[in-house]
Structure formats: C-alpha cells, structure tokens
Chains A and B, each alone.
Chain A
Amino acid sequence: MTCSDFLKELTDYLDESMDAQTRAELEDHLQWCHNCYVVCNTTKMTIEIYRDSHLYELPDDLRTRLRSAIITKCQCHEDSPGAAPPNAEVRPIDSPKTK
C-alpha cells in the first residue's frame, strides 16, 4: 500500500466504515509510515476540535427572538398545505405540549 492509497481510504478508516482486511492493511501501513501516521492523527484531531468547539452557537436571546418570529409567521400562514384547515382549533403557543 502506498501513501496515496492510504489517503484515499482515510475517511472510511476514521469513520470505521471498511472491511477488516482493508483496515488491517491500513494499520500495517501506519506501523511504518510516520507521515501517514501524523496526517491520520492530526486529521482526527481536526474533526474532534471542530466537533467540540461550539462554533456558531445560537445565543439564547437571539434564539428566543427567532423562535417567536417563526411561530408568528407560521400562524399567518394557516391556510398553507401543511397547516391546519381553516376551522381547526389552533392552540396558543404557550399551551402544554402534546406528548
């Protein structure tokens, strides 16, 4: 297996979506190829750092404002195909949730 072959399989390797034999071949390559080991390790860290970064969190005040705007707009479109028929009872938004 060459380094180029290894790179092509890197995503499936990190996602654990490959057969046992290919996996064994990749791990064998990692045993002796330091460059691929580093690329594999730092790519894994890249994914983990992004996943744990809380980048682009929605602040609570904006969240409340957006939700309120969405629900108001939805209530203005009650005749839309997905919404209630005109004579259906629409409960106020702060009423208890349907479980």
Chain B
Amino acid sequence: MGTIQPKVAEPVGDELALVHAAKAGDISAFEELVRRYDRNVFRIAQHITQNREDAEDVVQDAFLKAYQNLANFQEQSKFYTWLVRIAVNEALMRLRRRRPERMVSLDEDIKTEEDSMPREVADWAPNPEQLYSQGELKEILGKTVQGLPPSFRTVFVLRDVEGLSTEETADALDLSIPAVKSRLLRARLQLRERLNKYFKNRTGGDGKQ
C-alpha cells in the first residue's frame, strides 16, 4: 500500500535575506514575508479557532508580533516555524476567550486509547471526494475537523495540511515528538471515523447515490 508523501517544501533560498532586511527596517522585505505566509497563517488560525473573524485577527496580530519581535528571532529554526509558533499561540488565546468555560490547551489530553479506535470498518468509494460538490465537500470537511479537540486539530493542520515535519511541529508547539505523534494518530483516526458516513462505499446500500 502506498504511503503519504510529504509536501515538497517551497524553496526558501532568499528567505534569510528577507529576514535580515526586515530586521534592518526594510518594511518591503517584511511585506514579502507576509505575502509568502499569510495564506498559511490564515488556514492554521481558522482550523484552530473555527471562527472567521478570529482567524483574521490572528493573521494581523501574529505578523505584527513577529515584526515587533524580529530582533529576538535567533534564526535557529526556519522563519516560518517561528511564525507558526506565534500564530498558534494567538489562535489558542482567542479560542480560550471564546470558550472560557472550557480549558483549551495543547496539553489537553485524551481520556483513553479507545476514543480513537476504529468502530466502523467500511471501505470507501473510489475518489469519494467526487461524490460531492466542492461546496458540499468543504462543508463536510469543515464540520468534521471542527469536532476534534483543539489540541488534535492543531497538530493535524500543521502536519497534514501545512506539511510541517514532526520535528518542526513539535518545535512550533513546544511538545515532545511522542506527544505530536500520539495526537496526530488520534486526529487522523477520529477524522477517518467521522468521514465514514459520507464516504463509505454504498454500492449495496442506502443513502446518497
């Protein structure tokens, strides 16, 4: 069986030069960094907060914070990983504000191993995403990822949507590598389980088709 191929990272050859120029006060260099990563930061923020206004605020505040703290960026990691760390913190802070009644933390852990164990094992239709229109598919995927605990969907969006490595994800979230792997496994299995009802092969059965 084939495996998941990681996204090929875009070349970042001139990135350090942009960071240096921005540190020296070149606002156009910083604007280029914004242009390079604003879509990613928005996607991450929207996955975590599940709220469009919050995601917009996170994009603005994360870049502003990055600009104000550029002098503290030690260049031991990629600029993007450093930026992601800032964006995730901003997003979690906003989520906590909206849900003060619930603890929201990356350390929030999982009660039992069983919560992610497959309950329904059914094969899916070939190309199941084609069973739905683009709009319907986005609604299904959005609703499904929203049902994950924040700590799971944060790891999932960084690893599987943005293509960060396990090490980069651990670095950005200040988690251990085993903690990242554990959350990622559970996020993937829970999403799979929840998507079953939309994507399973219905050749003999009920529902859509």
Contact = CB atoms under 8 A, between A and B. Distances in A.
Contact of A95 (B28, B35, B117, B138): B28
Interface in A40-92: 40-58, 62-63, 66-67, 69-71, 73-75, 77-78, 80-85, 88-92
B25 A90 contact: yes
Interface string B1-26: 11110110000001001100111111
Contacts of B2: 44
A77 B68 contact: yes
A16 B4 CA distance: 8
Say which size band chain A's interface belongs to. Answer: 35 or more
A80 to B, nearest CB: 4
Interface residues of B, number: 71
Interface of A: 7-8, 10-17, 27, 30, 35, 37-58, 62-63, 66-67, 69-71, 73-75, 77-78, 80-85, 88-99
A83 B30 CA distance: 10
Q: Which 6 A-B residue pairings sit nearest by Cβ, starting from the closest?
A: A84-B25, A82-B70, A80-B68, A56-B46, A88-B25, A58-B42
B188 A74 contact: no
A51 B7 contact: yes
7 contacts: A38-B122, A42-B123, A46-B188, A53-B141, A70-B34, A81-B72, A83-B25
B32 A38 contact: no
